[in-house]
Amino acid sequence: MHAYRKARAVGAALLAAGTIAAALTACSSSGSSAASSSSSSSSGGGTYTFWDPYPQYNATSDWANLVASCGTKAGVTVKRTPYDTTALTTQALLAAQQGKSPDILLVDNPVVSTLAKAGALTTTAQNGLSTGSIAQNILGAGVINGATFGVPIGANTLALYYNPKVLTAAHVDPATITNWASLTAALAKVKAAGKKGITFSGINTEEGSFQFLPWFWGAGANLTNLDSPQAIAALTLWTTWIKDGYAPNSVIQDTQTTAWQEFQTGDVAFAENGTWQKGLAAQMGAKVIQIPAENGGSAPVPTGGEFFTIPVQGDTSRYATSAKIVGCLSATDNIVKTDNTLNYVAPTQAGQQAQASADSSLSSWVSAVGVAKARTGDNLGTKYPVISQQMWTAAQKAESGAATPSAALAAAQAAASAALSK
């Protein structure tokens, strides 16, 4: 890309960074500390820079040691700088604009399309990263117009946790929950037994959209048509649960964390939440089933997780070593250890099999990831944050009773179309 055109593209992406950054909060594993850096011991092959969204892992952590060791195996020193997830997006765009990008970037999957559109990333065809063994639905977040711009470190996603004690008291067999009708019937039994039905995050942020997507997609709706009959059915399901007292009114403000805290009280039958709660769920004896589609089967769920990407460099000879470092970090043994720490599902069949063999409780999550979809998939790319914002806005209006689901979604579709036509 011509330097002037690239600068304009990156500048436009920077203007949108605040909106894009919202897409990072749904499922990120990062903390919120300030950026710091660490590097391995010197080696004769020079220094390669690596930015990631894991400030919770300091220079003595297993993750930092793995990054350093992969650099050593490639014959170089790796200087690692971890950022808060949101800050990483802004820093990556600024660095691209200034021609100072790191050699390797590990970014949340919705950001890949943002950086690619800005001309900041190389494709796997250019940099030599291997994608052949990666599950296509997980890889999808890095594919734009047929070109692939990175490889995933792993994926997290959503399912329905349930409290066996609450269901037993309500005479509900979780195996009978196969579609929306059977789930709603179960919620009615739970309410009749004096307990609470289901918690989820309906907040007006990306977390709300992230949690709504399984029901939206599970109805057969498409993100390019927010006011379709299928989309209306999905939002009607949520609003009906609230109206009938199966879900608390608090879901309108609940984040995924606060919704989970309510589930932890032990009075709630179901919680829509993610792999990151797996450890806490085990402590309270909670189990997992897939989120049902409207008419049966498992609903598609959104993928979270980060991608290894290799930014554009003036010296293209650096790509080969960067690819070696990423190849080491994403090798099966290493990726399994990393994904287990992050509560991710590995992106390859070999990795998933290794995880499930070591921990049988992961099999449900492997199944969930198997039907998952990328939020920016279907070539939505940077259109997704615009659509998502209108979707969560519509959900808020309907959940609060300010508009019917059909009216709220019609307004959302009109607003999204207007924004995307500019």
Percent of the chain with pLDDT over 90: 86
Count of Cβ atoms closer than 10 Å to residue 55 Cβ:
20
CA separation for the pair 18, 25 (Å, rounded): 12
Task: Report how far residue 115's alpha carbon sits from residue 97's, in angstroms, rounded to the nearest whole number.
Answer: 11
Q: Which residues contact 19 (CB under 8 A, 6 or more apart)?
A: 385, 386, 389
Structure tokens at 343: 């509560």
Equal fold, 3-156+304-370 vs 158-302+382-420: yes
> Taking CA 13 as the corner, what is the angle to CA 209 and CA 144, rounded to the nearest 5 degrees?
70
Question: How much is the pLDDT for 39?
Answer: 36
Is residue 1 predicted with pLDDT exceeding 50? no
Give the residue-averaged pLDDT of 327-346. Answer: 95
What would the 3-class secondary structure string for the chain be?
CCHHHHHHHHHHHHHCHHHHHHHHCCCCCCCCCCCCCEECCCCCCCEEEEEECCCCCCCCCHHHHHHHHHHHHCCCEEEEEECCHHHHHHHHHHHHHHCCCCCEEEEEHHHHHHHHHCCCECCHHHHCCCCCCECHHHHHHHEECCEECCEECCEECEEEEECHHHHHHCCCCHHHCCCHHHHHHHHHHHHHCCCEEEECCCCCCHHHHHHHHHHHHHCCCCCCCCCCHHHHHHHHHHHHHHHCCCCCHHHHCCCHHHHHHHHCCCCEEEEEEEHHHHHHHHHHCCEEECCECCCCCECCCECECEEEECECCCCHHHHHHHHHHHHHHCCHHHHHHHHHHHCCECCEHHHHHHHHHHCHHHHHHHHHHHCCECCCCCCCCCHHHHHHHHHHHHHHHHHHCCCCHHHHHHHHHHHHHHHHCC
Any residues with CB less than 8 A from the CB of 104 and at least 6 apart, and which?
Answer: 48, 49, 50, 51, 308, 309, 310, 311, 322, 325, 326
What pLDDT score does 32 carry?
A: 33
The C-alpha angle with vertex 175 and arms to 174 and 180, in degrees rounded to 5, equals 75
Classify domain 158-302+382-420 by CATH architecture.
3-Layer(aba) Sandwich (3.40)
Q: What does the pLDDT average to over 114-142?
A: 96
- Mean pLDDT within 353-369: 92
Of the candidate ranges 1-10, 93-102, 141-150, 383-392, the one whose mean pLDDT is the lowest:
1-10
Q: pLDDT band for position 415 (50/70/90)? A: very high
Residue 171 in this model has a pLDDT that exceeds 90: yes
What pTM did the predictor assign? 0.88
The residue whose two tokens read 């402590």 is 283
Work out the mean pLDDT of the chain and round it to a whole number. 90
Q: What is the pLDDT of residue 45?
A: 81
CATH number listed for the domain at residues 3-156+304-370: 3.40.190.10
Q: State yes or no: pLDDT of 38 exceeds 60.
A: no
Domain positions in the chain are 3-156+304-370, 158-302+382-420
Q: How much is the average pLDDT of 215-239?
A: 98
pLDDT at 23: 41
Model confidence at 63, pLDDT cuts 50, 70, 90, reads very high
Distant-in-sequence, close-in-space partners of 4: CB < 8 Å, separation ≥ 6:
none
Cβ-based neighbours of 181, under 8 Å, separated by 6 or more: none
pLDDT at residue 214, rounded to an integer: 98
The residue with greater pLDDT, 304 or 39, is: 304
Q: Which distant-in-sequence residues (6+ apart) come within 8 Å of 421 by Cβ?
A: none
Q: What pLDDT score was predicted for residue 34?
A: 33
Write down the pLDDT at residue 195: 97
**Does residue 83 carry a pLDDT above 80?**
yes
pLDDT at position 44: 47
d(CA 60, CA 63): 8
Q: CB 315: neighbour CB atoms within 10 A?
A: 7
Lowest mean pLDDT among 34-48, 59-73, 110-124: 34-48
pLDDT band, very low/low/confident/very high, at 360 (cuts 50, 70, 90): confident
Average pLDDT over residues 71-98: 95
pLDDT band at 379 (very low <50, low <70, confident <90, very high): confident
Q: What is the pLDDT of residue 85?
A: 84
* pLDDT value of residue 422: 83
Q: What is the pLDDT of residues 228-281, one digit of tens each?
A: 999 999 999 999 999 999 999 999 999 999 999 999 999 999 999 999 999 999
| pLDDT for res 86 | 83
